């Protein structure tokens, strides 16, 4: 059998179909055609096999909140959503808003796929280059997922930093600060 026939059969078998080898037998001139093509065009170049490294791992949570956030009618002072990355490339997520006024704020965290997320809320200070840096820590909370978690926080200075850490586990998250469609009744 020629290499192209083997490749076609492996794709068909991988798709769950059964195929008879007799039905795939090459025509009598198949080998002659291959030899003529190689003589005219040189050897066949095949792409390398896909990598099995972590960078080739699929992120199951990428895009989990996209449709919901793009179609929303509510507003919020700050928001971020996404995933912590695919297995082997997981990293904490962080957002900082220097323009958030000081005062009472409601932080909403939704999470999926991961067992626990540590959410840290901190004041924001401007770095030498103007980039926001973490200031005084206001709260650190461990949140079990999947869940929707609400936390009230009071800031005495403008700005808020929100950092999420899944401790190396893949998963998805959605954070909204002062969402207009959530009301806390005390």
Q: Tokens 């083997």 identify what position?
A: 6
Q: Average pLDDT for residues 9-19, to the nearest whole number?
A: 32
The total of other beta-carbon atoms located within 10 Å of residue 34's CB is: 15
What is the pLDDT at residue 128? 80
Helices and strands counted in the chain (H then E): 3, 8
The pLDDT value given to residue 36: 57
Contact predicate 133/66, CB 8 Å: no
Spatial separation of the C-alpha atoms in residues 126 and 133, rounded to whole Å: 6
- Of 113, 56, 62, the closest CA to residue 88 belongs to 56
Is the pLDDT at 23 greater than 60? The verdict is no
Whether the pLDDT of residue 10 is over 80: the answer is: no
Q: What is the pLDDT of residues 126-150, one digit of tens each?
A: 778 877 778 888 899 999 999 999 9
Task: Give me the CATH topology for the region 57-177.
Answer: Jelly Rolls (2.60.120)
- The mean of the pLDDT values for the chain is 76
- Tell me the two tokens of residue 47: 């792409």
Residues 6+ apart with CB under 8 A from 43: none
Helix (H) / strand (E) element for 66: namely helix 66-70
**In the prediction, which pLDDT does 124 show?**
87
Q: Which has the minimum average pLDDT: 6-20, 38-52, 129-143?
A: 6-20
Give the DSSP letter string of 16-42: T----TGGGPPPTTHHHHHHHHHHHH-
Q: Nearest to residue 144, comparing CAs of 173, 174, 117?
A: 117
Tell me the domain boundaries of the chain.
Answer: 3-41, 57-177
pLDDT for 176 beyond 80: yes
Q: How far is CA 16 from CA 40, 58, 132, in A?
A: 37, 22, 53
**Segment 65-114, tens digit of pLDDT:** 998 888 777 788 999 999 999 999 999 999 998 889 999 999 999 999 99
102: CB partners within 8 A, 6+ apart? 155, 156, 157, 158
| The predicted structure's pLDDT at residue 15 | 35
Q: Please report the DSSP string for 166-179 in residue order.
A: -TT---EEEEEES-
Q: What is the per-residue pLDDT for 56?
A: 59
């Amino acid at each position: 059998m020629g290499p192209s026939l083997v490749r076609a059969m492996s794709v068909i078998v991988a798709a769950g179909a059964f195929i008879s080898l007799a039905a795939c037998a090459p025509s009598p001139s198949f080998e002659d055609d291959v030899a003529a093509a190689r003589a005219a065009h040189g050897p066949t170049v095949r792409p390398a096999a896909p990598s099995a490294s972590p960078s080739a791992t699929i992120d199951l949570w990428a895009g989990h909140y996209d449709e919901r956030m793009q179609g929303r009618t509510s507003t919020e002072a700050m928001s971020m959503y996404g995933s912590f990355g695919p297995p082997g490339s997981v990293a904490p997520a962080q957002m900082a808003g220097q323009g958030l006024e000081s005062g009472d704020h409601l932080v909403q965290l939704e999470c999926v796929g991961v067992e626990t997320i540590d959410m840290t809320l901190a004041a924001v200070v401007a770095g030498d280059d103007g980039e926001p840096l973490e200031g005084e820590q206001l709260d650190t909370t461990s949140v079990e997922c999947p869940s929707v978690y609400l936390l009230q926080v009071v800031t005495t200075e403008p700005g808020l930093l929100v950092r999420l850490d899944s401790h190396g586990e893949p998963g998805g998250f959605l954070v909204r600060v002062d969402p207009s469609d959530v009301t806390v009744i005390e």
